[in-house]
Amino acid sequence: MQSAQTQSYALPTVLDAIGAVDATEHLLEALQAGAALQLDASQVVRITTPGVQFLVAVRAQAEAAGSRLALLASPALLGALELLGLTPLFQPHFEESV
């Protein structure tokens, strides 16, 4: 079930374990409510392994819930995903910054 409501969430400039934990609760609540998610990662300048794990988990949860996921990615995030070979996993979710 997909809701027309979209909830936006700005990710921190450093997406590490702390940033991931802080964001997880909010995003899981939104997904459980059936909301579409827009993750604004346009300001991310550094991402660590827990941050990547967080993004992969959010993508999987959105897919399982049937929710739309949009990702506004910074150059740093795009570079990390490319380096790790994860760009194809997120390609359908990328959006341009407005």
Domains of the chain: 6-93 (3.30.750.24)
For residues 81 and 90, is the Cβ–Cβ distance under 8 A?
Answer: yes
The residue with tokens 């506004």 is: 72
* Overall average pLDDT of the 69-86 stretch: 95
Q: How do residues 13-68 score in pLDDT, each as one tens digit?
A: 999 999 998 888 888 888 888 889 999 999 999 999 999 999 999 999 899 888 88
Decide: residue 9, CB within 10 A, 0-12 exposed, 13-18 middle, 19+ buried. Answer: middle
- Quote the tokens at residue 87: 């760009």
Which tokens is 77 given?
């995030």
Q: Which pair of tokens denotes residue 7?
A: 């909830």
User: Using an 8 Å Cβ cutoff, are 45 and 74 in contact?
Assistant: yes
Instruction: Say what the pTM is.
Output: 0.86
